[in-house]
Structure 1
């Protein structure tokens, strides 16, 4: 674990940057003068929020904005803001005492936007009972009044300038607390985001800050660190070892990431699984708790005493294999229900000793759900997080919630559709509301966002639902989100395209699973073994059949055509291209390639059984066509996004390995094999 001196230095550096903002006006442009006051006892998070508000005001007004500690006599200014809580601001506490502000208006995770007069001064109050409530209030003000896009780091959208803006005409408003108190984002399968810059497999701080800031402004108040802790694939799987042979988890970076997230009001969640590169148990030790419990416990204690994991606020564990993401299969004849009751009691005791008072979560996947319904009972201070199937559906429901605080673990994206999203705000509305109604799943929501950027729509839909389920409407959200981001004329095309992408991903199949199908077809056509992380196999003709391919292709092609039709009408055209058009184009091209290769496989099989020259000749023609299609795919990936920030995102050389990408060499191997077959 990093020393206290180093963390103190990081906090001081961050606060120094904030204090520079307090002293120096950020705009030399003529205009109104704004003063933002914070309480004399304000926290670093409160001061960081003031800096965010200053930046937002400057963007839309061009005014001089100065941040300062509160005083008995407010300085002369055109507009005054007070960003504070009663506990940290004498001025706000005085307004509460005078009855100008009602304490009941200030909820723990919410607050008020209110214009008041104190003596001769008018003040715009952006307050809450806690720093989190005040923060939610400021970000609500920035979005609804100033027009700041909370996702601007990813969308590239700049706010409109406000002429003759008068903050004192702002309508008073109560900002309610979110219904779900913990809205947590999980950073998982993050390759493209972590590979933007070298060294690969770790974030640069600009990316991390962009993600944290956007999440916090869209109601997320926690982030689950996973990949950045050194997931097992990064140091064991061949594609990752090739990408970064010297991989070593960067614990100083993790420490800095936690410091920044805490500064911006985000809680940190970590999973106490036992496969991290910093320290792990062996695969064999992970298969028998009874014989290896001392090593399991020693590893947990190491995490909590020697690493940045000791700084987390939320700790989770899954009743499954503790190294790999799969069901627990005991090598020593254990009863899974019995031993996971023991395991969770043990980790509960460890946390009570080393991290008393933290939040604890038990996340149940399909195997964990079976255990929960069969007698598995973690200690009652664990929240139960019930997991979807990766596509916002539940195949197994709890028999009851057994009196536990209950929540959900959902996916904005899943590994099988990692590259091209499955947009489903309407499903989020219906499924999440069902879980709330029938299982009171309101204590916790964790959302897996894969690489974040392709899944913005679902990510925000989940957080908006969690904030206010009773008023969330999936269809209305779809319309608002697309109209805001692409303009009212392009919005119907964007919705039509994305709904078709959703229709295309039936049977939990997306872009990455189609890559797997293509790999199998290539293996059959080239008579080469198909390599997988778990070994290799020879693909037979029966194994490569894809009966749903043409149906899927029709849906994706409709998505592509709708996206193409909306291009001329799109406002913020680059973002429309990158978020709506490009994913549909990429998926359409991939299914065109798969269709061609599958047709070639049909002709190869026909030649093998009928020995008709026309069949092998047709197979050769189709493979030649597939070469051109693959070239088009590679060109699309290399051209990538319009926004230069993300230009190399889809480069196969550094994308998530997924199920492997077809290469020209593979097509050449097919051609060589077909030629050999034709002369036998």
Structure 2
């Protein structure tokens, strides 16, 4: 296969590989260490795609070179001699940018600085088919018969975010044991060999910053002298987490013999501890975390009040800056410094500490993907700018999510684009945990940090994900992977696999029953199980047809996560069914107990496959199925009670937890179907049948036999109405007989009709609920330069309506009806009573310190009620919002007449993102999962 790298209006051609001959690579002898590193890495990349290893050498001053790739700094004598061009000053002044072009039969890659050169080299690697994740996910490369570059001069853009990188965190369960026991046995830890591969990945992703691993399982980054040397060679900036000031690792480096980590009572020791590191790192390119917290992820020691904490923090920052000035030749304003307002530090910042203008404020998410706050207009003027520290992996309350990467790309895009619009453009750091299996989310984050502008286009986030997988697996398979991943993210958005135990941590609680209802709403448990089974089946089918040389990559990036999520859901939901059915006396409880345990065993086998079978054991130890050994990961313990009921069988009608005699109401035009379960309570045989079934009632089966010897423990009978053959007595109550052995149970049928109502935009009340998705508004108005924006891919409904744009003050809460953008919905009710509106939104936080998370809600012509979704600290409400990925508010409303009613929702605070709306008119349970809309126009 021949590869031609083309662009329009080409003016030059370069033959990289032809007739088994490959070009040489020449780099500047006066260049940086990274020039040499990327030159040899490029040679390896070319070898992967051609089978021929290029010769790499240092430039020795010769005046004529032919058919070589020349690598160096744009301003070097070496590059300038062959380039012989005058480039625009605007480009030359750009950070981390690169030029690519053909001159005198040579291909020149030249950066405005060292990292710019590296980015240029790796951009060529990508163009010839080397994926940035080639090593980390074993993406094998397609061989080429020839490679010809045809392109005009290329000038890259400057990266949009200054410092872009990752935080290696919670590495105890994957990265550290893998490095220690498999990849870097000579160190027995995450050492220079491992960091070299991480730094290479960062450069391939056009990133530049590392916050090193810092848990107790890992020695401090500076413990191994070759670690900082490796960072220096790769020109990666070293930073440290929000809890690790001055490039220190307190967990490993603060010895108890040093006393308390307390700047009030042990100032001299703490100061000397910092001074040692600043002196050691004075020639290292770093970003200094300023301020002080506790030893690890805890509040500052030795202070009792916010006022006292702020005073100590002012003293700390002043002394830290004195150290930087003492050991660095650059001016203090030019030394990168970050102040991360994480957890309790936000309160200290708000109290009013004296934070120098040149220090970058790094805002944080709430550890679960929702940014806690961003800069207001005044803060945006700070010389140090602002940044964001964001999580796609987390250890802590209310529950960890360290196992599978499930943060939806659409949420990452929504939050980080919001940050970009609010001028948080100095530093973006992503907490990636163990790196695997988060490849795509990391790629997305770094691509956005490099150039977010394309992501503002409608549909681009989805296109980006699709392109990522198509480049690796080809057009057809890549398209199917994108669909699989979209469904995977959507299911996990409703409840992450790690949260399926309905347990919490810090303090750790035991596994509880889930909130999915197996007795109502079409059986939420079976709906979720079926969705995961279908998803995993698609992944299984795709795995079978994927070429053998790409199966390992697919397993790491897609298949393990999909199957692992399915098995975890099965384990917990089958456990639910075992316990709930056991209480109902259903014999099949024992069947589901066995299925729950089998699902656990499947996770064990799947994880063993990851660690020992794929890629010939290359990743042994990288994947743990039970990070921190939390209860949700453990083998299920299910204690069942022997049946005390002497009946051979029983039944259950949808909507009834016990035996009942009334079906839910069928509504004409909605194609409703409801079920009756018949089941065994004891060993034996049960004959069942439906008698006197009305002609218009369609049933999936009218009779059957349950037999425990055949393991036929239950049968689900689906019922729906064929409205085409009903007569004028449509609203008349009807019934039929359910026979269970000798028992005869009359079952009532209720019917209702809205089809003659002239209301195309209405959401109709059905069995106690009227359901509207926020994006299905009848009307949306614009006011005060603000509008409601529909965002795809988010929320339970898959499409939310967000209050925007940004960088404005919140609207007032007085003249709401006249001056605020409005969303309108029409509901049609059959109930006259006091009911409630349930409004669900993304669990976002106030945009700035001036904002809240408010909307105005108006039912018919009643006064507007102010609703605020804001949560505080780590309250129980915030924890629940995190675990269910939803914020909910209820508004009581009076329904004074049957028929049409108007719901208006008014904008007050930017950033509020509405998901769905329920009008609830009964005292029945509210489902955990999302109900279908009760309208006709989307049918």
- Aligned equivalents of 2:357, 2:303: Cα separation in 1: 29
Question: Displacement, 1:591?
Answer: 1.6
Looking at secondary structure, tell me which structure has more helix per residue.
1
Distance (whole Å) between structure 2 residues aligned to residue 309 and residue 633 of structure 1:
48
Which whole-Å CA distance do the structure 2 matches of 1:488 and 1:51 have between them?
31
CA distance 1:588–1:458, shift in 2 (3 Å): same
1:546 is matched with which residue? 514
Q: SS of the residue aligned with 2:324?
A: helix
Distance across 2 between alignment mates of 1:647 and 1:516: 31
Bigger Rg, which one: 2
Structure 1 residues 165, 628: CA separation in 2 closer, same or farther (over 3 Å shift)?
A: closer
> 1:352: which partner in 2?
325
Distance change in 2, residues 1:355/1:103 (3 Å): closer
Contact 2:178 2:622 in 1 (8 A): no
Give the conservation status (yes or no) of the 8 Å contact 1:337–1:376.
yes
Unaligned residue ranges in structure 2 (runs of 5+): 1-17, 518-524, 646-939
Which of 569, 580, 593 matches 2:558?
580
Q: Which residue, out of 493, 511, 530, partners 2:497?
A: 511
2:540 aligned partner: 564
Q: Secondary structure at the match of 1:112?
A: strand
Match of 2:38 among 45, 49, 67: 49
Q: Tell whether the 8 Å contact from 2:237 to 2:285 is kept in structure 1 after alignment.
A: yes
CA distance in 2, matches of 1:368, 1:83: 45
Question: Could you give the per-residue CA deviations for residues 64-120 of structure 1, whole angstroms, max 9, x where no partner exists?
Answer: 62233334545665x122211144x32323356x43655654433112111012xxx
Q: Any unmatched runs of 5+ in structure 1? A: 1-28, 235-247, 521-531, 607-611
Q: Report matched runs for 1:101-500 at 5 Å.
A: 104-106=90-92, 107-117=94-104, 122-144=105-127, 146-167=128-149, 169-190=150-171, 191-198=173-180, 202-203=189-190, 205-227=192-214, 231-232=215-216, 234=217, 249=219, 254-271=224-241, 272-273=244-245, 275-280=250-255, 285-286=260-261, 289-305=263-279, 311=284, 313-317=286-290, 321-328=293-300, 332-333=304-305, 335=307, 336-355=309-328, 357=330, 358-400=335-377, 402=379, 403-404=381-382, 405-415=385-395, 416-437=400-421, 439-472=422-455, 473-500=460-487
Give 3-state SS (helix, strand or coil) of 1:152's partner. Answer: coil
CA offsets, 1:25-78, max 9 Å, x none?
xxxx9832523222241221212222122222333334462233334545665x
Instruction: Give the secondary structure class of the aligned counterpart of 2:169.
Output: coil
2 CA distance for matches of 1:312 and 1:630?
A: 47
Q: CA deviation at 1:445?
A: 0.9
TM-score norm. by structure 2 comes to: 0.57
| 3-state SS, counterpart of residue 596 of structure 2 | helix
Q: Which residue of 2 aligns with 1:591?
A: 569
**Distance (whole Å) between structure 1 residues aligned to residue 622 and residue 91 of structure 2:** 48
Whether the 8 Å contact between 1:409 and 1:447 is mirrored in structure 2 is yes
Q: How big is each residue's C-alpha offset from its partner over 1:534-565, in whole Å with a ceiling of 9 and x where there is no partner?
A: 5x77x6xxx93431584765664454344334
C-alpha change, 1:67 and 1:651, in structure 2 (3 Å) is closer
**d(CA) in 2 for partners of 1:471, 1:93:** 33
| Rounded Cα–Cα distance in structure 2 between residues aligned with 1:384 and 1:212 | 25
- Tell me the TM-score normalized by structure 1: 0.77
Aligned-partner Cα distance in 1 for 2:482–2:623: 27
Larger fraction in strand: 2
Q: CA deviation at 1:218?
A: 0.6
Q: Give 1:294 shift.
A: 3.4
Distance in 2 (CA, whole Å) between partners of 1:37 and 1:226 is: 35
Question: 2-side partners of 1:515 and 1:650: how far apart?
Answer: 24
Alignment map for 1:633-648 (pairs within 5 Å): 633-640=603-610, 642-646=614-618, 648=620
8 Å CA contact 2:529–2:569 kept in 1: the answer is yes
Distance in 2 separating the partners of 1:48 and 1:569:
37
Aligned ranges 1:60-139 → 2 under 5 Å: 60-63=49-52, 65-74=54-63, 77=66, 79-87=67-75, 89-95=76-82, 98-99=84-85, 104-106=90-92, 107-117=94-104, 122-139=105-122
| Deviation sequence 1:563-612 (CA, Å, 0-9, x none) | 334334435233223321221111111121112333445467x5xxxxx9
CA contact (8 A) 2:502 2:512 kept: no
What's 2:691 paired with? Answer: none
Query: What's the secondary structure of 1:41's corresponding residue?
Result: coil
**SS state of the match for residue 109, structure 1?**
coil
Query: For residues 95 and 618 of structure 1, do their structure 2 counterparts lie closer, same or farther at Cα, with a shift above 3 Å needed?
Result: closer
Q: Per the alignment, do residues 634 and 328 of structure 1 end up closer, same or farther by CA in structure 2, a change over 3 Å counting?
A: same
Q: Do 1:60 and 1:161's aligned partners in 2 also have CA atoms closer than 8 Å?
A: yes
Please give the alpha-carbon distance, in whole angstroms, between the structure 2 residues aligned to 1:100 and 1:277. Answer: 51
| Structure 1 residues 65 and 622: CA distance shift in structure 2, 3 A | closer
Question: Which is further off, 446-455 or 358-367?
Answer: 358-367
Do the aligned partners of residues 628 and 650 (structure 1) sit closer, same or farther apart at CA in structure 2, a change above 3 Å counting?
Answer: farther
Partner of 1:21: none
Aligned partners of 1:252, 1:430: CA distance in 2, in Å?
Answer: 36
Shift of 1:419: 1.2
> How far, CA to CA, are the matches of 1:476 and 1:293 in structure 2?
53
Q: 1:31 aligns with which of 20, 25, 48?
A: 20
Distance 2:480 2:623 in 1: 27
Give the Cα–Cα distance (whole angstroms) in 1 for the partners of residues 623 and 529 of structure 2.
23
| Residues 656, 370 of structure 1: alpha-carbon distance in 2 compared, 3 angstrom cutoff | same
Aligned CA-pair RMSD? 3.6
* Structure ranking higher on relative contact order (CA contacts 8 Å, 6+ apart): 1
- Number of aligned positions between the proteins: 588
For 1:346 and 1:369, how far apart are their aligned partners in 2?
Answer: 21
